[in-house]
Structures are given as C-alpha cells and as structure tokens.
Amino acid sequence: MAAEEMYRVIVDSLSTHVAVLDENGVIVETNRAWQQFARDNGMPEPVDCIGLSYLATCETKTGDQEESHLIGRAIRQVIAGEVEEFLTQYPCHSPQEKRWFSLRVVPYRDRRTRRVIVTHENITPIMLAQERLRRQEKELQQKTDKLEETNIALKVLLEQRQRDREQMEERIVANIRELAVPSLEKLRQSALNQRQQTLVDIVVAHLDEVVSPFLNRLSTVNLLLTPQEIEVAALVRQGKSSQEIADVLGVSLATVSFHRQKLRRKLGLAQRGVNLRTYLLSLR
C-alpha cells in the first residue's frame, strides 16, 4: 500500500470530521466522517464539499456571526503562518438534538503548499455531562442552602427552648428560696415532735432535689463549694442583693460578703473584672 493511500485510509477511519483547505480557504479534501455528517444533515451532493469556500461560508453564515468571523480570521492567520494553531468550541444544534463540536485549525505540514487542516470533533457527550454536573451542583447547593436554613431555624428554636427552660428553673428556684425555705426554717425552729421534724426534713430534702440542676452545673466545673457557698451562689444567680441574701439565709451582711469573696476566688474571678452573677449565669 502506497504511503498516500495508507494516509487516506487512516484519515477516513477517524470519527473526527476533517477538511483540508488551500491558501484561499477553499476545501480541497475531506474525509469520510465529514461527508457522512453532511449527508446525514441533508446537504445536497457533492457531500465531499470540494471546491466550496470554507472562509466564505464563515463570513456569510447566519446565526452566531461573531463566532463565525472569529473562526474565519483564525483560519487566515494559520494560513499566513501568524498563528500556529487555533482551537474553539461551538454549538451546532439540530431540530432533533443538541450538539457541540470542538473546532481545530492547524497548518498542513508541507513546505511546497500553504494549506490548513480543519477538524470538527463531536464533543456532545462531554458537554451534556457537564450540563448534568452543573444541574446536579445547583440542586445540591439548593439542598445545602435549605439544610443550612433548617439548621439555623432549629438552632434558634433550641436556644429559645434552653432559655425558656432556664427561666422556668430560675423561677422555681426563686420561689422555693423566697417562699418555701423561710417558712420551713421557721417551722424547724418551732416545737416539733420527732415525727413532725422528720417530715420537715423530708420536705427540705425534696426541695433540694428540685433545685439541684443548677447545683449540678456548678459541680461540673469541679468546684469544692461548701453548702452555704452553694446557697449564696444560687441566690446571686437569681439577682439577689447581698442584703436580700442575708435576710433569706438569716446571716449577717458580712458573712454574705465573705462567701461572695470566696466564690470569686474559687471561680477564678478574684483578679478579673467579671461580674459574679454574669459568670454564674454563663454556667450550663
């Protein structure tokens, strides 16, 4: 097989549409894939397009004229040796389907003639895959945004629920400290028989269990607080003044001040300008 015939067989075996243009941009040769594409798309004979001016087609083509003129200029530049290679992508949709092609223009490697080779490669599967990927990315982003909005709303609801729970707890603790405890202390100091004293102790123990959540949070920071320091801390957290705490606990104002100082030291606030109640409210 002669070399020229072998090259012809190779070019005809390609799925890429190949056309060779002379120095004037006129088609002088096409391969089988080019001809089959022309035949499939209703082009009249001769489907080899030999003698057709490719440049003239670019310059008079309707549709995307800017793209066509760009391709025409690029072909002229490759023919003139000003550009080594030109590559672009363009849509070529039919009424039945969407199609995209990659167009490449390279010089014909023959010193005796000045020609160029124009190839059209069908890249529709790649472009369709990219479109699907873009749609999937957009859908995923929309789902992600919706999930983030849901998470934000859920976080707000949980935070509100936590605040409501803490406020309810604080009201319960305040009511017990202000209403129940003083009456029980007075009852303890009255003349009670053994059975009555036991019942009062049971009530006090149960009330301590009610207010234990805050006390449990204090224990999570590994603080060694005395029972009276815990009582003072609970009342400070409720916003009670030192005088009010002294009245509730039945101790002197100096004793409350002493316990507040010990609390600041044990909580690591002695050398910091942090409000004691603010810090106690921050404990979760």
Q: Name the least confident of 20-24, 112-116, 123-127, 169-173.
A: 169-173
What is the average per-residue pLDDT within 186-209? Answer: 79
Whether residue 180 is contained in a domain is answered as: yes
Task: Among 107, 122, 137, give the residue marking a domain's end.
Answer: 122
Whole-number pLDDT of residue 105: 94
DSSP for 230-246, written as a single string: HHHHHHHHTT--HHHHH
Tens of pLDDT along 236-260? 888 888 998 888 888 899 999 999 8
Structural element, H or E, at residue 7 = helix 3-13
Task: Among 87, 122, 157, give the residue marking a domain's end.
Answer: 122
Residues 207, 176 contacting (CB under 8 angstroms): yes
Are 9 and 96 in a shared domain?
A: yes
pTM above 0.85, yes or no: no
Whether residue 188 is contained in a domain is answered as: yes
Are 16 and 96 in a shared domain?
A: yes
Tens of pLDDT along 33-85? 999 988 888 888 888 899 999 988 887 766 667 888 889 999 999 998 899 99
Are 86 and 181 in a shared domain?
A: no
State which residues form the domain around 275. 169-282
Q: How far is CA 204 from CA 51, 187, 194, 198, 235, in A?
A: 109, 11, 15, 10, 17
What is the average per-residue pLDDT within 119-129? Answer: 91
Task: Among 122, 148, 183, give the residue marking a domain's end.
Answer: 122
For residue 118, what is the domain's CATH number?
Answer: 3.30.450.20
Whole-number pLDDT of residue 222: 43
Whole-number pLDDT of residue 45: 84
Highest mean pLDDT among 6-10, 65-69, 72-76, 198-202: 72-76
Whether residue 164 is contained in a domain is answered as: no
Whether residue 103 is contained in a domain is answered as: yes
Residues in contact with 90: Cβ distance below 8 Å, sequence separation at least 6, in sequence order: 64, 67, 71, 100, 101, 103
Q: How far is CA 184 from CA 14, 179, 196, 239, in A?
A: 100, 9, 12, 22
Tens of pLDDT along 144-189? 999 999 999 999 998 888 888 777 777 777 777 777 777 787 887 7
Closest CA to 87 of 99, 75, 100, 69: 75
Whether residue 132 is contained in a domain is answered as: no
Residues in contact with 260: Cβ distance below 8 Å, sequence separation at least 6, in sequence order: 232, 236, 242, 276
Are 264 and 174 in a shared domain?
A: yes
